[in-house]
Structures are given as C-alpha cells and as structure tokens.
Chain A
Amino acid sequence: MMITQPVARPDGGVKVTGRARYAADYFAPDLLYAVLVTAPAPAGRVTSIMVDDALAEEGVVRVLTHEDMPKFGRFASPRAEPDTQTQHAEGPPAAQSFMPMQNDEIRHEGQPLAIVLGETLEAAEAGARRVSLRYEFAEPELPAPPEWTAIDKAAVVPRESGFLFLEPTFTKGEVDRGLSNAAAMVEAVYLQPSRHHNAMEPSATLAEWNDGELTLHDATQHVYGVRQVVAARMNVPAEKVRVISRHTGGGFGGKGWIWPHQVLAAAAARIMQRPVRLALSRANAYSCLGYQPRMAQKIVLAADKSGKLTAVQQDVVNLTTVTDDFVEFATEASKGLYATPAMRLSQRVERANVAMPTALRAPVEGPGTWALESAMDELAHRLGIDPLDLRLINHADTDPATGQPWSSKKLREAYEEGARLFGWRERPRKPQRDGDWLIGYGMATCSMGCFRHPTPAAEVRLHRDSTVLIRTGTQDIGTGTLTIFPQIAADVLGLPMERIELEMGDTQLPEAGPTYGSSSTMGVGAAVLAAAEDARSQFARLANLPPDEVEMQDGHIRRKGAAGGQTIADVMSHTDIGEIIGSGSFDPAQHGKGLAMRTFGAIFMEVGVDPGLGLLRLRRAVGSYSAGRIVNPRTARSQMTGGIIWGWGMAAMEQSRHEPVLGRFLSKNLSGVAIPVNADIPGDIIIHFVDEVDEHASPIGGKGIGELGATGVAAAVANAVFDATGKRIRELPITPEKLL
C-alpha cells in the first residue's frame, strides 16, 4: 500500500540538480528578449512614446506600443452570464478584463505601456531605459486611509461579473434580536494591508508561432486556462494554442489566473514573427500580477452567558482596481465556522487606481479567520471562558449557513489532539517571562472551503514491460502531486513507484483544471484513480478475469485472495497489444450531493514579545487538522508547515504599502518587502492530522490542504500577543511600532 506512506518526492532528482526546467529556462532559435516599459503614475494617458533613442541601442530590434498591438478579443468567463455584452462579464481564468496597450489610457502604476525587443537581454533592458514617454496625468482614485470610517465611506456594492462568485450579502435569522439579547458583545474592526505572493519565480512566458499555431512555455497554475484566455485575446481557436509548464516556481494564487503579460508575449511574437521571451522583473511582479488586497472587516459577535453565539455580523471591504471588482469573500468564515441562530454578512469593494488584486494563499477564510478568530478570542476574554472552550461551545454540528450535514468533520478531535500536543490546558495562566521576552499563548480555528473543480481527467497507460505512464494536464507547482498521483496508480496496479512515470503540464494531455483552491488531490487524484482502475479492468478482461473480482500486486493480476496469478508481461504477450490506455475523470456533482464540505483544524502558538524593542518572535507551534485521508504525510507536512509560515508572514511582517500620494506600492523588491526567512522560523512546528476518511468529498477520501495551514494563524499570533502583553492588535502586520 503506497497511499498514506511518506514516500519521497520523485521530482527530487531533477530539482536538486538544476535539471528541472521552468518557463524562463527554455530557448528557441532566433529568440527575442522582451522588456516592459511601465507607467510611473496611476492615472491619465500617455501622449507620446519616443523610441528613437531605444532603437539606436545596438541589438534593440523593435519597440512595440499600443499602436502596434492587435485589438485583443474579449474573454467570456464561463462563470458570467452568457448573453451579457458588458466587459464585466469577463472573469476567471482571466485575471482582469482590462488589457493594457490597447489605447493611451493609464489605469494603474506599473501598467505595461511599451515592449522593447532585443537580441539580448542587455540590449532590451538598455533600450527600455531609453524609451521616453510623455504623459498627461489625471487625478487618481486613491485607496482610502487605513481606518474604518474612511474605508466604509468609500465602499460600494460590487458589480455583477465573473469575479462575483457568491451573493455579496447573506442573512440568516434575527440578528437584531440576537444582538439585544446578548450577555456579552464584541464589536471591532480588523485591518490588513495589501500583500503580494512573492513567488521565487517571477512569471515568464516564451511565445513561439509556427504556421498560425502558438506554443507557450509559461509559469502558470493552469495551462488550460492560459490556452483559453490567450486564444480568446489573440482571436485564434483554442486548438491552435499549446501551453507547456513542466514546473512552476511557486504560485500561491499569483499564477492562478491569466494576466496581460502572457497575452502581450504572444502578441509580440506574432508581430515579430520570431519567438519572444517575456520574463517579468521582480518589480514587474508587483504591478503586472495580482496581490491580496488591503481589507477592513468590522465584526460584531454577540453571545449569551454560557458563551453561545446569539448573532454574528461581518462587514468586509476590500480594495480593487477601477476596471474590475475583485471580491475577497472573507465572510465565508462566518458562514462556515460556528453555530449561530443569526448572521448578517456583507461584502463591498473600494475602487482605486491600483493594480488588480487576486487570490493569495490563503484567500477567503485566510482574511476571514484573521477577523473572526481575533474577535472570538476577544469574546472569550470578555466572558472569562477559555478560548478553546468557547470554540467547543459553538462547534457547528451542521453547516451554519445552510444547515446541511458535513461530508466529514473531526474538528473536535483536532482541537483535543492539538491541545494535548501543545499542552494548551496546562499552559501557564500568569504572565511569563524568559529574559527580556514576554511569553504568550494563542490559538485559533483553521478552516477552508472545498473547491472541487469540474471535471479533471487523466489517462493511465499500462505497458507490456510493467511500466506505467500517467498523463494529466495539471501542473507542478510543488504541492506534492508529482508524488501522490504515482502513489495512487501504484496501489491500483500493484507496481512499485519507480515503475510509474507521470507527465503533466501540457495542453496536449487530458484537461485537468487549475492547481489552486487546494483542489488537486480531491479532483485530479480521483481522476488518476479512476483511470488506473479503468486500466486494471481492461487488463483483467485481457487476462480473462472478471474486472470486479481482481487485484493486482507485485506485478501480477489474480482473483482477489487467490495466490500466484499472471504477470503483466505474460498476459500482454498473448495479445498484440503494446499498452492499455485507461481513462478516468472526476465529476464533483456525482459526489457528496446535499452535503457541506470544509476542512478544519486548530493552530496553537507560543510567541515571545520584547516590549523594549517591539520585537515579536515565533517560539513554537502545533497545527492539528481534520482534512480527510492524508495521501502522503511527508509532502502533507511540508504543505502545512509552509501554510503556517505563510500565516506567520501575514501576522508579523508582510505588507505591500500603498504610498499616500499616488497609491503606488512603496516597495517593489524583496528588500523593501519583508517575507519570512529561515532565521524567522523555529524548528519546533508540530503537524498533526486526525485519522479521517471523507468518502463524500472524493473517492480519494482526502480533501485539500494547501491553504488550510495558512488560515487562523494571524489571529492565533495576535491572540498570543494579547496573552503576552495585554495589547490587542487589530491591524496587520504586527510590526515593532505596534508593540512599543
């Protein structure tokens, strides 16, 4: 049995030797290097682009401006109303409806205005510095000052578009009665800044046209999405576009949807009739891609004397760009975490001349748990109830929003086992000190919705020589799919891991959807399972055995429970078949109908605060999770520690500040934007999974874990800071000036 075993990653060999190839590692004959010239201010129009100096630079071949660009086609999101003709019908997988370089308009700082193409990177970069632009600046819409009154005033109801996944408001029960009957109440505003993905690989695209067919090597979390959007923008049939992405150097949502640069690379290559590589600079990655928007959340929690919630109110406002309303549905946390008779939730947006936000690990419940789990801690202290007990008192036995039963939920076990591993019940209740450090303990609930994308497909080929090839058009972003898909096939076909090869990251493979939303194990994993079972059934028929009564083990097929059996080579040698091709897919509509699905967990943290210097340090953490069956505990552990460290970054350091004059990002580099480094992270992070199988979410029995670990953490940190210092911090990140 390979499933549930801590198998080492088969991609280790190529990744530790530098042989793994990412988008910018590809070449093509006659390659041109592309460098972007971008807008220095957030609003207005460009009145002239002078290119003579750039063209005088040796090796610069061409400077493309909006006058050279084709008119890009519109992308109709599958999520939007099919008959609507407004641009707001656009939506995912396109990251935004706005395409730059279509006219002279400037809508955000960093927006591409020209593309310099050079025979070498040095030439193109030098050329880009010598392009002169003249502008007519306009008064920009600026982000409101970061406080509730201003943000509330600027907020508007989001427009209908492909980005509006859910209704922007939700009510249940009688909120006003719940509020007036309360014995204790918390009303507070929680703020968080914009922050970027900062994947180590800046996005890059190599575009090459041959006889009207386009091949893209791309850094992406969704090869088929790139194909759909680029084909639509370039006005060519999707079949004419092939997208290849063997390895992507970190996504975290930043490479999930399709951004303008991918289209611009394709357009430049078609104009030049030469292959073009556009590798974004680190600075480009702050304005040409998305980020988690600045958010303000006002929460009201009301409870009776026993701690039972009587009403929950959550009003969320997130920043968005002027052209599209990205909505960060933090209210999903209130809808999913605690039993309450009444709730009133709203989502609004605040539009400004800033780049378009997008999903970031963890979206939705990431921001949602920051606010809700901070407020729950405040409520616990007001009531004099242990924070863990308050969560147990309000445990949701069914889905709080819909009343539906859960597909599976072992949150009580996760709380209990996590608390035991951490020593929560035994923690010191009096203020603790370790030298200059004040010590504090905090906890929070973690939870994430289940995104099950329709309908990933896979193919499993069983060869005469007892080797297997899995083919599926999903992509490697490091989450562990390269390990767990072979594990799944190995179990069905009774072969060792080293006999199994996996091909991913190509639109010539069966369509398998995006690698985001913690969806791959449930969805693509189930497709691989179905394809392997199909291959086994076909093989059983070849062996003259009833498909439902066979098992495959150690390279043999036999009736279940029987001894011996026939080898794969034996069976195949009696036929002229060289390989068996099994296919499978996963249709979420066929699984778990009428059930609510979530993953759950609890995070316990110990922090140190130096009140003299305002320093905050993570000392240890325990994450305990209820997420269904864990296919590979080794890769899963890395997913969870990674998520917790993302949460630590959100809590303690990460922000992309908008400067107040023009709303531009203050720093567009990794020295001005702090993200966790090795020295920030202690070794004492314990990951625990509750023993669980969720048979309804997916035939794999597992659910998604890529984002779960990053939820709850920011609140747990702030709660621990409160425990250590008595200071309630409601604005992230918790930087020294807030602790002094």
Chain B
Amino acid sequence: MDFHDRHLLRLRVNGEDHSLSDLDPRVTLLDLLRERLHLTGTKKGCNFGECGACTVHLDGRRVNACMILAVSAEGREVTTIEGLADGDALHPVQQAFIDHDGFQCGFCTPGQVMSAAALIEEGHTGSDAEIREWMSGNLCRCSAYPQIVEAVRAAAGRASQ
C-alpha cells in the first residue's frame, strides 16, 4: 500500500459530522482526534494499547483510539470525553469521579471515565472484583484505584459490598 495516498474520511464525533479530505492513512484515530480535531481530552499515554488513556467509544464500544487507524472509522460514530456530558450536566460517572476523589493528576481520567461509562452499560459492575478486573485496562499511576472502584460502583447505582 502506498502510504502517500490521501483519503476522504467522514465520521461523526460527539454528534457532529466531520469530513476530512486529504487524510494520511497512517493517522490513528487518537492523532486524528487530538491533532486534527483538537479534541485533546483523549490522552496519549503509550500509543501501543497498553495504558488505556486514549479510551473512546466507537459505535458505543470501548476502544483504545491509538490502536485504530482513522480511515477505518469511516462512517462510524465516535464519542470522546468531551462529548460524554449532557451539556453542562455531567455524566453520572464524571460526577462520581469527583465525589469519590477518583483522580489526582487527571491525565488518565478521561480514559478511566470512558471505560467506566461503557462497562456500566455492558453490565460489568456486578461486584467490586468485577469492576477491578474490567477497569484494569486503564492504568492510573497516581494509583487512585480504590477511589475509582468506589466511583464506578456509585455510578452503577450499587450499594457498597
């Protein structure tokens, strides 16, 4: 494949349609969001799918945006951390992270929040152990793990176990 071909890409990001002509096929979804669309809430922690800081929703499913080529997202719908809240009203997961001190430096937080929102939808919050397991793709070096579990449990509407 000639990497110098340029592509037209249409996709929907946070409810807004984007059409990008002249797209370099090497651009990842992460770099598209950050460098082309300036949606910098999605973070680059490793660029190899190891840390989860770039977690976004692609057609409602969790993905590491660094592992997706942007051209493969043609016609698809992306939700990033910037599109999770309903206007000024925070998503319950976002509010829970504040209420339970589920972050310190905040760099991994967008990815944590996007993962948490999706796994609540998927029904993976049946127990604290299940939350821990399913949140383990998102590294947090400040190590707010106990607080993150509390936040996800609260957002999932479960009582403490």
Contacts and interface: CB of A to CB of B under 8 A. Distances in A.
Contacts of A680: 145
A439 interface: no
Interface size of B as a range: 35 or more
Interface centre among A15, A201, A252, A675 (most CB of B within 10 A): A15
Contacts of A199: 105, 107, 141
Contacts of A13: 90, 98
A25 B143 CA distance: 23
Contacts of A646: 143
A714 B97 CA distance: 29
Given A27-B38, A200-B140, A670-B50, A16 B146 contact: no
A27 B42 CA distance: 15
B124 interface: no
Nearest to A20: B106
A679 to B, nearest CB: 4
Nearest to A671: B50
A17 B138 contact: no
Interface stretch (A4-12, A99-107, A535-543, A544-552): A4-12
Interface string A450-481: 00000000000000000000000000111110
Given A18-B40, A670-B46, A676-B143, A479 B101 contact: no
Given A16-B109, A249-B43, A249-B107, A9 B143 contact: no
Given A17-B81, A670-B50, A675-B139, A683 B105 contact: no
Contacts of B145: 641, 645, 676-678, 680-681
A477 B105 contact: yes
A279 B131 CA distance: 32
A637 interface: yes
A646 B143 CA distance: 7
B99 interface: yes
Contacts of A27: 38
B141 A9 contact: no
B143 A126 contact: no
A22 interface: yes
Given A478-B106, A638-B101, A17 B143 contact: no
A426 B85 CA distance: 49
Nearest to A24: B44
Given A21-B40, A670-B46, A670-B51, A681 B31 contact: no
Interface string B1-43: 0011000000000000000000010110001001100111111
Interface string B54-95: 000000000000000000000000001110110000100011
Contacts of B24: 120, 122-123
A134 interface: no
Given A200-B107, A281-B47, A121 B31 contact: yes
B42 to A, nearest CB: 7
A325 B97 CA distance: 42
Contacts of A681: 132, 143, 145-146
Contacts of B4: 58
Nearest to A18: B41
A671 B49 CA distance: 9
Contacts of B44: 24, 202, 279
B26 A678 contact: no
A585 interface: no
Contacts of B26: 122, 126
A198 interface: yes
Contacts, number: 185
A675 B145 CA distance: 12
A588 interface: no
Contacts of B108: 200, 249
Contacts of B50: 282, 669-671
A688 interface: no
A445 interface: no
Contact of B139 (A251, A639, A670, A682): A670
A247 interface: yes
Interface centre among B81, B103, B104 (most CB of A within 10 A): B104
A18 B81 contact: yes
Contacts of A58: 4
A199 B50 CA distance: 13
A440 interface: no
B142 to A, nearest CB: 5
B112 to A, nearest CB: 9
B139 A200 contact: yes
Interface centre among B95, B101, B131 (most CB of A within 10 A): B101
A248 interface: yes
Nearest to B50: A670
Given A201-B105, A637-B101, A252 B110 contact: no
A635 B113 CA distance: 19
A68 to B, nearest CB: 26
A527 B31 CA distance: 41
Nearest to A204: B44
B101 A9 contact: yes
B106 A122 contact: no
A427 interface: no
A677 B50 CA distance: 11
A305 B122 CA distance: 62
A251 B110 CA distance: 18
B141 A12 contact: no
A121 B103 contact: no
Given A638-B142, A642-B104, A645-B145, A15 B109 contact: yes
Interface string B127-161: 01001110110111111111111100000000000
A250 interface: yes
Given A25-B40, A478-B106, A681-B132, A202 B45 contact: yes
A443 B116 CA distance: 34
Nearest to B81: A18
B143 A480 contact: no
Contact of B136 (A121, A200, A679): A679
B94 A282 contact: no
Nearest to B41: A18
A597 interface: no
Contacts of B48: 282, 669-671
Contacts of A676: 143, 145
A642 B97 contact: no
Contact of A683 (B81, B101, B128): B128
Given A641-B147, A679-B133, A200 B104 contact: no
Contacts of B148: 678
Interface string A396-436: 00000000000000000000000000000000000000000
Interface string A112-156: 000000001111001000000000000000000000000000000
A551 to B, nearest CB: 31
Contact of B97 (A12, A202, A645): A12
Interface string A628-660: 000000110111011001100000000000000
Nearest to B104: A478
A12 B98 contact: yes
A485 to B, nearest CB: 16
Contacts of B85: 17
Given A17-B84, A635-B101, A682-B146, 10 more contacts: A12-B98, A14-B106, A18-B42, A22-B107, A199-B141, A250-B107, A641-B147, A675-B141, A678-B145, A680-B145
19 contacts: A8-B98, A11-B106, A13-B90, A16-B110, A17-B41, A24-B44, A122-B26, A197-B141, A201-B107, A247-B106, A247-B107, A250-B104, A250-B142, A279-B44, A638-B144, A670-B48, A670-B139, A679-B132, A683-B149
Interface of A: 8-9, 11-22, 24-25, 27, 58, 120-123, 126, 197-202, 247-252, 279, 281-282, 476-480, 634-635, 637-639, 641-642, 645-646, 669-671, 675-683, 685
Q: Lowest 8 A-B CB distances belong to which pairs?
A: A18-B41, A249-B107, A478-B105, A15-B106, A478-B104, A12-B98, A18-B81, A645-B143
